[in-house]
Amino acid sequence: MTQPLTAPDGRTLEVHELGDPDGFPVLFHHGTPGSGPLYARWETPGVRLVGYDRAGYGGSTRRPGRAVADVVGDIETIAGALGFERYATWGLSGGGPHALACAALCDERLVAAASLAGVGPWDAPGLDWLAGMGEDNVTEFKLALEGEAAIRPVTLEHAEQLATVQPREVADALGTVASDVDRAALTGAYAEYAAEMFHRAMSSGIEGWIEDDMAFTKPWGFDLTAITVPVAVWQGGQDLMVPFAHGEWLAAHIPGAEPHLYHDEGHLSLGLVKLGDILDDLLRIAGAPLTAGRRAAGPV
């Protein structure tokens, strides 16, 4: 189910739901670039999965100049409109920092968070932010540092490809940031989901993508040490989009974070192979009802 909501400033927030409408709410922050529709095989008994298009993507109105922390108001709007009393959140890739912002700044309804293949802060001490990234990502973020005018032509070129990419083409479209293990994962239903997600992401243009990149390369607007809810950090060692060191850094610097670091997984494969475990673990640290969740047997 997809529905538009209206933020207090009049912007539209497009929200997507999957699963049990009476289940424990788990809110998903998509990657960069990306959009909020949920992969059908993520459906979990007793769980109300909710995704949304971040500002500037899909059906959600852009918010020029936004910082990572600005997502908090949108999430609290969604939580209020959908009647959440308690909920958990997780973010994939570029969604990771946004999930962490919620962990630091959202009200008491948010009880747990997880970062899955999420980047660390640009200015993180001791983290070489670009080291180990595929060449395409290195170029993208160096251009982001030069400003919107520099990054816009390259983003537009990539967006034109993703706007019409076919499932069999997704791995090649990701270029140098797709590791072998991620290429192996991007087949069948997962590739179909990825293609549809990219189509929706690019349907309203490239502003969301540019604004994500700009937000990642400036202060996020919150301090990780402000996080008091339980947080899990998941990262793969074969990740060329967000290298392993980012997950190690986050796990070491978020108070009380639980690390789940897998040397044999990539960026996208982690969400395919381990997603059942990730959701079960998130429900555990959130103190969700025992009727929610299931232990996945193999890929989901």
For position 245, which CATH number holds?
3.40.50.1820
Q: Pick the closest to residue 105 from 7, 227, 250, 258 (CA basis).
A: 227
Low-confidence winner among 179-193, 194-208, 281-295 (lowest mean pLDDT): 281-295
pTM to 2 decimal places: 0.96
Tokens of 77: 């709007």
pLDDT attached to residue 63 = 97
Tell me: pLDDT of 191 over 50: yes
pLDDT attached to residue 293 = 75
On the CB side of 219, CA atoms within 13 Å amount to: 3
Collapsed DSSP state (helix, strand, coil) of residue 267: coil
pLDDT attached to residue 298 = 37
Portion of the chain with pLDDT greater than 90, in percent: 93
Tell me: pLDDT of 290 over 90: no
Tokens of 234: 């998941």
Mean pLDDT of 54-79: 98
Strands 47-52 and 12-19: antiparallel
Find out whether 117 and 230 touch, Cβ atoms under 8 Å. Answer: no
pLDDT attached to residue 272 = 85
pLDDT attached to residue 294 = 58
Q: Is residue 112, in this structure, part of any structural domain at all?
A: yes
Mean pLDDT of 63-88: 98
Mean pLDDT of 79-107: 98
Please count the structural domains in the chain.
1
Q: Is residue 297, in this structure, part of any structural domain at all?
A: no
Q: Is residue 291, in this structure, part of any structural domain at all?
A: no
Q: Average per-residue pLDDT in the chain?
A: 95
Distances (CA, A) of 252 to 90, 163, 224: 18, 37, 11
Q: Is residue 91, in this structure, part of any structural domain at all?
A: yes
Mean pLDDT of 265-294: 88
Mean pLDDT of 259-275: 92
Q: Is residue 298, in this structure, part of any structural domain at all?
A: no
Tokens of 163: 């706007």
pLDDT attached to residue 48 = 97
Q: List beta partners, residue 258.
A: 232
pLDDT attached to residue 300 = 40
Q: Is residue 292, in this structure, part of any structural domain at all?
A: no
Q: Is residue 212, in this structure, part of any structural domain at all?
A: yes
Residue identified by tokens 């709410």 is 25
Mean pLDDT of 138-166: 96
Tell me: pLDDT of 194 over 70: yes
Sign of the Cα torsion 58, 64, 70, 74 reads negative
Sign of the Cα torsion 57, 62, 65, 68 reads negative
Mean pLDDT of 138-163: 96
Model pLDDT for residues 4-48, shown as the tens digit of each residue: 999 999 999 999 999 999 999 999 999 999 999 999 999 999 999
Domain, as residue range, for 183: 2-286
Tell me: pLDDT of 128 over 80: yes
DSSP-derived secondary structure letter, 265 = -
Q: Is residue 26, in this structure, part of any structural domain at all?
A: yes
Between CA 207 and CA 145 the distance in angstroms is: 16
Q: Pick the closest to residue 216 from 93, 107, 102 (CA basis).
A: 93
